[in-house]
A = this chain, B = another copy of it.
Amino acid sequence: MKQEPFRIAIAGLGTVGTGVVQLLRANASIIAARSGRPIEIAALCDRDKNRDRGFVASDYNWVDDVRTLPEMEGLDAIVELIGGADGIAFDLAKATLGKWIALITANKAMLAHHGLELAELAEKKGARIGYEASVGGGIPIIKSLREGLAANNSLSIHGILNGTCNYILTQMQKTGGDFGDILKEAQKAGFAEADPSFDIDGIDTAHKLTILAALAFNTQPDFKSVPTKGIRDVTGTDIKAAESFGYRIKLLAVAQRGEDGKITRSVEPCLVPEGSALGGVEGSNNAIMIEGDFVQKVTTIGRGAGRNATASAVVADIIDMARGDKAMFKPIFGVPSRELAKSDWGDPKERKGQYYLRMKATEAFSGKLDPVANVDGFNCGITGEMKQSELPAGAFSMRVEPL
C-alpha cells in the first residue's frame, strides 16, 4: 500500500464543500482503506473563514486567495466547488490543469461551456478531471457511462436531472396546486432558489445533458445548441389531464440517436408513463435511463442534489485518483478530445412521436386527439405519431416519451 497521503485543496466552502470536509472526516478510515492511502486536506480556500461549518477552520491551512492554490507545493488534486461557468472557477480550473494537478469539480456550467477546452488542456498536460458530482448528485452516472457501460454504443439517454423542477411538478400533482403557488412554497421550503430561473427554465438540466451526451455519444460538449424549454408553462390542468391518461409530467433531458444517425438533444417537460421507472421518480430525486445497444436499458435513481449526496460523488473522484487513476488511459469524455465528434445535431421538431396538446375546446384539431378529455374548459389529449412541426400552431404541446 502506498502510505504517502493524497493531498488535496478544496476551493469553495459552501454547501457542497462543507459536506466534502465533513465526509472526509467522518469516514476517514474507510476512505483510506479503500484508497490505499490517507486523504490529506492540505488547504481549504474560501473568502469567508468564519462561517459556522461544523468544523474548526483553524484546524486547516486556510488560504484566502484562490489564485495562489495551484502554486502550492505537493498538491495531488484541487477540488473546485466555487461554481459558475466563467470567472474564478474557470481560471482556477485552467491554472490547476496547467500545473499538472488533477482537477475535481461539481461545476456543470463550466463543463457545459468550456468542457472541450478543459479536456484538451488536461490531456495535453496529462492531468485528470473528475466530475462525478456535476450530474445526478450522488448517483455515480459519470462512472457508469464512462466505464461501466463503455462497451456499448449509446442509443439514448433520458434523465430527470433537476431536483427543483421535479419537486415542483410532484407537488403540483399531489396538491392540485398551480405552478406559481407551488414555486412560492418550494422557495419557502428551501427547494427552490430566490431566483429560480436557472432551474425552472431548464438551463441547469441542459448543462447536465450537455455533459452526459458528450460522454455517451463521444461528441464535443456543446451547450449553446441544446433546445431548452422549462416548466413555467405547465399548468394544473396539464397535470390533471396527463394523470387521467396514465402519465406523469417530468422535465426530461433527452439525447437519442435517430434513424439518420444524427443525435437529437432536448430539454422540455414531457409526459412519461406513470408505471415506468422514470414516471415513479418523485420529489427532489434524480434519475437517468441509459440505453445501450448491448446492455439495453439501465436506470439509476437517487438523490440528485444536497450536501451529503453530492459530497459522496466528489469524494468518489478523490478516492479514484488516490488509488492511482492517473496511470490509466481515461480521457475526459470517454475518448481523446481530438476524437470527439463535432456533432451535426438533429432537430427535435422533426422527431416523430406522440404529443400532448392543450387547446380551446372549439379548435378544429381537437377532433384528432385520442385519448381526449375536457379539463378545466380545455380540450386536452394525445395525438397519433407525428412531428412537432406538424402540430397546430396555437396549442400548448408536450412530447409523450413512451420509455
Chain A residues proximal to chain B, CB less than 8 Å: 1-2, 19, 23, 26-27, 30-31, 33-37, 132, 138-140, 143-144, 147-153, 218, 275, 277, 280, 292-303, 308-309, 311-313, 315-316, 318-320, 322-325, 327-331, 334-336, 339
Inter-subunit contact B328/A324 (CB<8 Å): yes
* Known A-B contacts A151-B315, A298-B301; A329 and B339 likewise in contact (beta carbons under 8 Å): no
Q: Which residues of B contact A19 (CB under 8 A)?
A: 294
Q: Which residues of B contact A147 (CB under 8 A)?
A: 140, 143, 316, 319-320
Inter-subunit contact A319/B149 (CB<8 Å): no
Inter-subunit contact A309/B293 (CB<8 Å): no
A143 to B152, alpha carbons, bound, how many Å? 16
Q: Which residues of B contact A149 (CB under 8 A)?
A: 138, 140, 312, 316
CB distance from A247 to the nearest CB of B (A): 15
**Interface-centre pick from A33, A302, A316, A339 (highest chain B CB count, 10 A):** A302
Inter-subunit contact A328/B323 (CB<8 Å): yes
Q: Which residues of B contact A319 (CB under 8 A)?
A: 147, 150-151
Interface of A is mostly: mixed
Q: Which residues of B contact A315 (CB under 8 A)?
A: 150-151, 294
CB distance from A31 to the nearest CB of B (A): 6
Inter-subunit contact B30/A218 (CB<8 Å): yes
CB distance from A50 to the nearest CB of B (A): 26
Q: Which residues of B contact A31 (CB under 8 A)?
A: 150-151
Q: Which residues of B contact A1 (CB under 8 A)?
A: 329, 336
CB distance from A261 to the nearest CB of B (A): 14
* Known A-B contacts A138-B294, A277-B280; A151 and B329 likewise in contact (beta carbons under 8 Å): no
State the copy count for this chain.
2
Inter-subunit contact B296/A27 (CB<8 Å): no
Inter-subunit contact B329/A323 (CB<8 Å): yes
* Further contacts, 5 of them, CB under 8 A, given A322-B329, A328-B328: A2-B329, A34-B335, A149-B312, A295-B309, A300-B301
Residue of B nearest to A307 (CB): B294
Inter-subunit contact B27/A153 (CB<8 Å): yes
| Partner among B35, B138, B292 whose Cβ is within 8 Å of the Cβ of A312 | B292
8 cross-chain CB contacts under 8 A = A2-B329, A33-B334, A36-B329, A148-B313, A295-B312, A298-B302, A298-B303, A323-B328
Inter-subunit contact A302/B295 (CB<8 Å): yes
Q: Which residues of B contact A330 (CB under 8 A)?
A: 323
Inter-subunit contact A300/B298 (CB<8 Å): yes
| Partner among B303, B316, B327 whose Cβ is within 8 Å of the Cβ of A151 | B316
Inter-subunit contact A27/B329 (CB<8 Å): no
Residue of B nearest to A296 (CB): B303
| Partner among B153, B320, B328 whose Cβ is within 8 Å of the Cβ of A30 | B153
Q: Which residues of B contact A313 (CB under 8 A)?
A: 148, 295
Residue of B nearest to A306 (CB): B296
CB distance from A20 to the nearest CB of B (A): 9
Q: Which residues of B contact A320 (CB under 8 A)?
A: 147
Residue of B nearest to A136 (CB): B298
* Known A-B contacts A144-B143, A328-B324, A328-B328; A296 and B292 likewise in contact (beta carbons under 8 Å): no
Q: Which residues of B contact A37 (CB under 8 A)?
A: 329
A336 to B107, alpha carbons, bound, how many Å? 33
Inter-subunit contact B34/A150 (CB<8 Å): yes
CB distance from A76 to the nearest CB of B (A): 14
Residue of B nearest to A298 (CB): B302
* Known A-B contacts A152-B27, A153-B30, A315-B151; A308 and B280 likewise in contact (beta carbons under 8 Å): no
Q: Which residues of B contact A327 (CB under 8 A)?
A: 324, 327-328
Inter-subunit contact B316/A296 (CB<8 Å): no
Inter-subunit contact B297/A35 (CB<8 Å): no
Q: Which residues of B contact A318 (CB under 8 A)?
A: 151
